[in-house]
Amino acid sequence: MSNHPDSVVRAHVEAHRSDFLDDLGEWLRIPSVSADPDRAGDVRRSAEWLAAALTATGFPVAEVWESDGLPAVFAEWPSGEPGAPTVLIYGHHDVQPAAVEDGWDTDPFEPAVRDGRMYARGAADDKGQVFFHTLGVRAHLAATGRTAPAVNLKLLIEGEEESGSPNFSALLRAHADRLACDAVIVSDTGMWAEDTPTVCTGMRGLTDCQIDLYGPGRDIHSGSFGGAVPNPATEAARLAAALHDDDRRVTVPGFYDGVVELTDRERELFAELPFDEAAWLRTAHSTAALGESGFTTLERVWARPTAEVNGIHGGYGGPGGKTIVPASAQLKLSFRLVAGQDAEKVQQAVRDWVAARLPAGIRHEIRFHGATRPCLTPLDHPALQSVVRAMGRAFGQEIRFTREGGSGPAADLQDVLGVPVLFLGISVPSDGWHSANEKVELDLLLKGAETAAHLWDDLARNWHPGAE
């Protein structure tokens, strides 16, 4: 056996593969469904199981943290090296609901290994991707001969992610001192494909609102009054329609202010991905692409801010016709935000735009439901480069870049802790998150462990947070 660190890491991972999968299987048997109040005890049992497993891995600190909802797990393993960077790994130990009746081939809470895959609820989302870090840190110690990791390692594994993380922000604020770090590594995402390892460099932000429009005091007769008084359903439609111009650009003045535009290099890298638009359209259950002129589909969902009509309702919706001018209408809009946009400024811009467009005789109310900020790591960020190198060593392939069109708790981590957020995920689109027969590819899971093993060493050598 070679003494090259990559060989040592691989040998360690291979040697412990069987025990690692047995342990993961044990955790997956705990049905930690956060959405089901009857499973609250299982979510707690899952947290306790994980804390014990982290202790067994060597973490000197491993605690179950209470929240106003379901418990999270915190663990910490100081490096002992002065000046070492501190990294916080984020993941979650709760899972989506699952039942054999939903179309599973085997019991979702009885892990089954077939054809190099482990099938179970949570195998990829997110227990597998949390648990590879236990194997990764042991491989890192084996390869470096250290007794503690080269970086100060922290883990925060929440228990309510599948229920929308209602208490996560409060938990972060309550423990901000113990969570202090130089970067967060989110271990709850995926790669482009089995044969195309990638690193996600950002997620879009989100803010959404409800606009209620009020016209006549009650539904009125369209024969007697139609065409002579304002119609709130028409005005809701005019707002929704005016959101985009014919190039499908958002028309709200100031909406694009500050947007960090894609660099030519990023566009080239996106374009190099083996994107099959027909296959993508199938996953979108759609038959045609449509979006902002001048951008590709991937650019539109990953890197462009968008406005979407999530719902529009006004007037009669039953069978046949009813010749009324309706009394009210409602519009639900969401805005995906990218780096450089300020959610509060976007909200104000939308408020102003709505108020300026409505005619006399239409009263309106607009309520925003909060905001999730976008996050984006520049391609030349040294910690991101470490992730790319670590993945490259594990996968033996060029690592490409993706982004995530959705929005998530990563933004809370970035905001509350005030540090960059990186993404390390080995799941692939076929893993079936939230669906029947969720699985994880065992080879990729072990490559995740290898990546983590390389990453701590690379970060300690190459990243000096204070010096940026």
Considering only residues 270 to 309 of the shown chain, the ones binding its own copies according to CB under 8 A are 281, 284-292, 297, 300-301, 304, 306-309
Nearest distance from residue 243's CB to its own copies, in Å? 7
Helix (H, G, I), strand (E, B) or coil at 157: strand
CA-nearest of 249, 351, 234, 350 to 290 is 249
Nearest distance from residue 381's CB to its own copies, in Å? 23
Q: Under the criterion CB under 8 A, does residue 216 sit at the interface with its own copies?
A: yes
> How far apart are alpha carbons 352 and 99 in whole angstroms?
47
Write out the binding residues for its own copies, residues 228-267 only, by CB under 8 A.
228-231, 233-234, 236-244, 248
> How far apart are alpha carbons 73 and 89 in whole angstroms?
11
Please identify, among the stretches 33-41, 104-112, 266-274, 317-325, the one whose residues bind its own copies according to the rule CB under 8 A: 317-325
Q: Which is nearer to its own copies, 206 or 459 (CB)?
A: 206
Per-residue x/- track, 320-359, its own copies (CB under 8 A): xxxxxxxx-xx-x-x-x----------------------x
When binding is defined by CB under 8 A, the residue of 148, 170, 180, 220 that contacts its own copies is 220
Quick check: 370 and 346 in contact, CB under 8 A?
no
When binding is defined by CB under 8 A, the residue of 5, 128, 202, 314 that contacts its own copies is 314
Kindly state the tokens that stand for 430: 């076929």
> How far apart are alpha carbons 355 and 366 in whole angstroms?
9
Kindly state the tokens that stand for 121: 């609820």
> How far apart are alpha carbons 340 and 58 in whole angstroms?
40
Please identify, among the stretches 96-104, 172-180, 314-322, 443-451, the one whose residues bind its own copies according to the rule CB under 8 A: 314-322
CA-nearest of 44, 30, 47, 45 to 109 is 30
> How far apart are alpha carbons 64 and 54 in whole angstroms?
11
> How far apart are alpha carbons 368 and 447 in whole angstroms?
42
Nearest distance from residue 195's CB to its own copies, in Å? 21
Q: Which is nearer to its own copies, 300 or 393 (CB)?
A: 300
Quick check: 216 and 225 in contact, CB under 8 A?
yes
CA-nearest of 455, 450, 454, 428 to 16 is 450
Please identify, among the stretches 41-49, 72-80, 401-409, 420-428, the one whose residues bind its own copies according to the rule CB under 8 A: 401-409
How many whole angstroms from its chain centre is CA 150?
27
**CA–CA distances in Å: residue 210 to residues 299, 352, 364:** 27, 14, 10
Give the contacts of 336 (CB within 8 A, at least 6 positions apart): 204, 205, 206, 305, 306, 308, 405, 407
Kindly state the tokens that stand for 361: 């005789």
Q: Which is nearer to its own copies, 52 or 242 (CB)?
A: 242
Q: Which is nearer to its own copies, 349 or 446 (CB)?
A: 349
Q: Which is nearer to its own copies, 214 or 342 (CB)?
A: 214
Print the SS3 string covering 358-396: CCCCCEEEEEEEEEECCEECCCCCHHHHHHHHHHHHHHC
Q: Which is nearer to its own copies, 129 or 407 (CB)?
A: 407
**DSSP class of 263:** P
Nearest distance from residue 48's CB to its own copies, in Å? 32
When binding is defined by CB under 8 A, the residue of 126, 208, 438, 458 that contacts its own copies is 208
Write out the binding residues for its own copies, residues 188-207 only, by CB under 8 A.
204, 206
Read off the amino acid at residue 421: V
Q: Which is nearer to its own copies, 243 or 375 (CB)?
A: 243
Q: Which is nearer to its own copies, 25 or 405 (CB)?
A: 405
Write out the binding residues for its own copies, residues 404-463 only, by CB under 8 A.
404-407
Nearest distance from residue 332's CB to its own copies, in Å? 6
Describe the crossing of helices 232-242 and 343-357 by its angle, rounded to 10 degrees: 130
Q: Which is nearer to its own copies, 314 or 465 (CB)?
A: 314
Kindly state the tokens that stand for 412: 């809370």
Residue 286 backbone dihedrals phi, psi, to 5 degrees:
-125, 160
Nearest distance from residue 275's CB to its own copies, in Å? 12
Nearest distance from residue 443's CB to its own copies, in Å? 25
**DSSP class of 80:** -
Kindly state the tokens that stand for 245: 């111009």
Q: Which is nearer to its own copies, 13 or 209 (CB)?
A: 209
Q: Which is nearer to its own copies, 228 or 467 (CB)?
A: 228
Nearest distance from residue 66's CB to its own copies, in Å? 26
Residue listed under structure tokens 């449509």: 290
Q: Which is nearer to its own copies, 290 or 356 (CB)?
A: 290
* Residues binding its own copies: number (CB under 8 A): 81
When binding is defined by CB under 8 A, the residue of 61, 180, 260, 312 that contacts its own copies is 312
Please identify, among the stretches 39-47, 69-77, 79-87, 224-232, the one whose residues bind its own copies according to the rule CB under 8 A: 224-232
